[in-house]
């Protein structure tokens, strides 16, 4: 997919060393629009929407935030480890605001699927369906995320 | 013939593009030339700057360093100031950082206000004490697998005045894949009387631009730019009991406070809780424990949340909050000083309030 001038600005901000040390694209050679389009083919097969997915991620984050940077079991099924850091992260997308620096690791104790995300990913997924490029340290595989937080 | 026609058309198009580009550059130079602008600060000091830059940058060029943990990107909200006149309308990027009351009181983010004309502002007087320092890394120590202690020799200016608990900002240069210099805030861990050196404790943040530079690239002997001091996290001069709570690199300002109190003398009851996951996350333990020989009533409580059996940890386990009652004798007469991650601050603040410690006596760094 061809990038618009505004998209090119976003693509540039996703490169390493602009907003985070390694950026959001990993080793993926595709542009972010193509990455989103490809992942949408997967997420469109889900029974739940991107809004549902991001709301679920928020729910697990909120439940674990007061865990003093430790792990807790939510709803008897999800082990959630919340580690927060000082400072904020900016989104490469326009007018998105700022997000706390944290990592949230969720392990589904029933099926043992495990994923890790940051508060920025909730916005990425809800507003853009962006799960980061392949090879990125924080790339989320949509199927694994879905299985980890819903099954 | 056709080739000549094509070349001719290309040349004409290139010529038109060139003329248009020149016109844009000239128009920009004329329209965006705001000339000299006067910034009236607190009605006491006036500086003349070349218009067109942000208020934050314009002030920094006059060696007035308004706090900014994000380097002027509009993401940290640290550069709040009052713009009485000449700031123009508030931008959508600023609004999320202010309450309705603050907006009504003309609060703005200095990084988002462009200086286009004469402007009147108010900033805290302490900001005039903030300096930009050239420094050299004197020593780097590994405290844990993800925490380093750094000592900087101050070169120019060669001395700093600060209150124990305040922080400085470190500027990381372009390195490896990182194409922009960034500025990040770190609490000072050394005592204020050590004027020609600064010590910081820096924990690696996953994907962090500045902390990755500190942990993977910064070497002893290297030059580093530091600005500061900033912040209003410091010990209040009262007789109240003190409870310190820290985690990770949050030990930095507490260490500075303890060293400062040790020099000045202090007979207040002090309890210090340090929360960590395992023994691998503990550092400076013996040093902090040694303050119990300096102060008449000081106790250090390292608490591990995930101690493994093979670690043979004999100390306190779990979270720090359940141990607060044994340290707090009168919640209403207790001040709490917290430093750590936002998650830790939130959990501990809730725990202290539940025990009856007044919210206005719970202090922590504002840049978390």
Q: B75 at the A interface (CB within 8 A)?
A: yes
Per-residue pLDDT reduced to its tens digit, B25-62: 777 666 667 889 999 999 989 999 999 889 999 998 89
Residues of B in contact with A102 (CB under 8 A): 341-343
User: Does residue B199 contact residue B149 with C-beta atoms inside 8 Å?
Assistant: yes
Mutate to test the interface with B, among A62, A83, A86, A139 (most CBs of B within 10 A): A86
- Say what the pTM is: 0.82
- Beta bridge pairs of residue B201: B149
**C-beta atoms of B209 and A102 within 8 A:** no
| Predicted pLDDT of residue A124 | 96
Given a cut of 70, whether residue B168 has pLDDT beyond it is yes
pLDDT at B368 exceeding the cut of 60:
no
Taking an 8 Å cut-off on Cβ atoms, the answer to whether A70 and B305 are in contact is: yes
Considering only residues 275 to 304 of chain B, which have any Cβ-Cβ distance to chain A shorter than 8 Å?
A: 275, 277
CA distance A86 to chain B (A): 4
Cα separation, B211 vs B193, whole angstroms: 27
Q: Where are the alpha helices (DSSP H) in chain A?
A: 5-13, 32-43, 50-65, 119-123, 142-150
- Distance of residue A17 Cα from the nearest chain B Cα, in angstroms: 4
Q: Do B342 and A138 touch (CB under 8 A)?
A: no
CA distance B304 to chain A (A): 11
| Top-confidence range, B87-96, B176-185, B232-241 | B232-241
For the beta sheet containing B119-122, the strands, ordered from the edge strand earlier in sequence to the opposite edge, are B45-50, B36-41, B119-122, B80-85, B107-109
Enumerate chain A positions whose Cβ falls within 8 A of a Cβ in B.
Answer: 15-18, 20-23, 65-70, 82-90, 95, 97-98, 100-103, 137-138
pLDDT (0 to 100) of residue B30: 66
ipTM: 0.78
In the prediction, which pLDDT does B366 show?
60
In this predicted structure, the answer to whether residue B73 has a pLDDT above a threshold of 80 is: no
Q: Do B208 and A68 touch (CB under 8 A)?
A: no
For B162, half-sphere exposure in the C-beta direction (CA atoms, 13 angstrom radius) is 32
Judged against a pLDDT cut of 70, whether residue B4 lies above it is answered with yes
Report the residue of A72, A85, A105, A117 to disrupt the B interface, i.e. the one with the largest count of B CBs within 10 Å. Answer: A85
Range B75-94 average pLDDT: 87
pLDDT in tens, A46-72: 999 999 999 999 999 988 887 776 788
Distance, C-alpha B112 to centroid of its chain: 19
B352: enclosing H helix or E strand: helix B342-355
CB A107, CB A79: distance < 8 Å: yes
B209/A73 Cα distance (integer angstroms):
32
Phi, psi of B84 (to 5 degrees): -80, -40
Q: Which residues have C-beta within 8 Å of that of residue B186, sequence separation ≥ 6?
A: B167, B168, B169, B170, B200, B201, B202, B249, B252
For B116, other C-beta atoms within 10 Å of its C-beta total: 16
pLDDT in tens, B260-311: 999 999 999 999 999 998 999 999 999 999 999 999 999 999 999 888 888 8
A91: closest CA of chain B, how far (Å)? 10
Tell me, what DSSP letter sits at residue B209? H
Mark yes or no for CB contact B342/A97 under 8 Å: no
Q: Which has the closest alpha carbon to B76: B169, B212, B181? A: B169
- Distance in Å, alpha carbon of A29 to nearest chain B alpha carbon: 17
Helix-, strand-, coil-residue percentages of chain B, each rounded to 5: 30, 30, 40
Q: Maximum Cα–Cα distance for chain A, whole Å?
A: 47
Q: Which residue has the higher pLDDT, A77 or B15?
A: A77
> Residues 240-269, chain B: which have Cβ within 8 Å of A?
247
pLDDT at position B367: 56
Positive/negative CA dihedral, B269, B189, B362, B327: negative
Query: Would you call B306 and A70 a contact, using CB atoms and an 8 Å cutoff?
Result: yes
Please indicate whether, in this complex, the C-beta atoms of B343 and A66 are within 8 angstroms of each other: yes
CA A50, CA A57: separation in Å to the nearest integer? 10
Q: Which B residues 82-101 touch A at CB under 8 Å?
A: 92-93, 96
Residues of A with CB below 8 A from B184's CB?
87
Pair B301, B327: CB distance under 8 Å:
yes
Q: Residues B245, B340: contact at Cβ < 8 Å?
A: yes
């Amino acid at each position: 997919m061809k990038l618009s001038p505004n998209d090119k600005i976003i693509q540039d901000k996703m490169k390493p060393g602009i907003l985070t040390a390694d950026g959001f694209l990993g080793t993926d050679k595709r542009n972010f629009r193509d990455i989103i389009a490809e992942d949408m083919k997967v997420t469109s097969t889900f029974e739940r929407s991107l809004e549902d997915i991001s709301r679920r991620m928020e729910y697990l984050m909120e439940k674990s935030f007061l865990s003093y940077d430790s792990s807790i079991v939510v709803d008897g099924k999800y082990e959630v480890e919340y580690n927060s850091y000082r400072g904020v992260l900016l989104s490469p997308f326009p007018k998105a605001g700022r997000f706390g620096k944290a990592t949230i690791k969720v392990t589904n104790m029933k099926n043992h699927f495990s994923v890790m995300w940051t508060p920025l990913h909730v916005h990425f997924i809800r507003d853009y369906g962006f799960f980061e490029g392949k090879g990125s340290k924080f790339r989320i595989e949509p199927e694994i995320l879905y299985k980890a937080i819903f099954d | 013939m056709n080739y000549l026609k094509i070349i001719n058309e290309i040349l004409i198009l290139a010529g038109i593009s060139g003329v248009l580009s020149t016109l844009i550059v000239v128009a920009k130079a004329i329209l965006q030339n705001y000339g000299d602008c006067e910034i009236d600060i607190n009605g006491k000091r006036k500086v003349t700057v070349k218009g067109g830059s942000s208020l934050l940058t314009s002030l920094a060029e006059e060696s007035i360093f308004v706090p900014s943990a994000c380097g002027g990107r509009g993401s940290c909200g640290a550069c709040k100031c009052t713009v009485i006149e000449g700031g123009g309308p508030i931008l959508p990027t600023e609004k999320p950082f202010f309450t309705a009351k603050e907006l009504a009181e003309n609060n703005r983010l200095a990084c988002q206000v462009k200086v286009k004309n004469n402007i009147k502002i108010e900033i805290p007087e302490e900001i005039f004490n903030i300096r930009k320092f050239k420094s050299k890394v004197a020593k780097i120590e590994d405290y844990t697998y993800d925490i380093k202690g750094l000592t900087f020799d101050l070169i120019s200016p060669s001395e700093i005045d600060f209150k124990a608990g305040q922080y400085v900002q470190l500027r990381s240069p372009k390195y490896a894949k990182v194409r922009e210099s960034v500025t990040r805030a770190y609490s000072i861990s050394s005592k204020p009387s050590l004027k020609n050196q600064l010590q910081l404790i820096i924990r690696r943040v996953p994907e962090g631009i500045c902390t990755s530079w500190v942990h993977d690239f910064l070497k002893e002997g290297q030059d580093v730019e530091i600005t500061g001091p900033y912040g209003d996290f410091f010990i209040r001069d009262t007789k109240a009991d003190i409870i310190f709570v820290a985690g990770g690199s949050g030990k930095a300002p507490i260490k500075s406070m303890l060293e400062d109190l040790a020099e000045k003398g202090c007979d207040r009851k002090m309890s210090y809780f340090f929360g960590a996951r395992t023994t691998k996350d503990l550092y400076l333990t013996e040093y902090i424990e040694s303050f119990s020989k300096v102060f008449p009533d000081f106790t250090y409580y390292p608490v591990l949340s995930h101690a493994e059996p093979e670690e043979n940890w004999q100390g306190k386990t779990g979270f720090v909050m359940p141990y607060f009652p044994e340290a707090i004798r009168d919640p209403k007469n207790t001040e709490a000083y917290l430093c750590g991650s936002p998650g830790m601050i939130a959990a501990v603040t809730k725990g202290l309030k539940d025990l009856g410690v007044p919210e206005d006596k719970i202090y922590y760094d504002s840049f978390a």
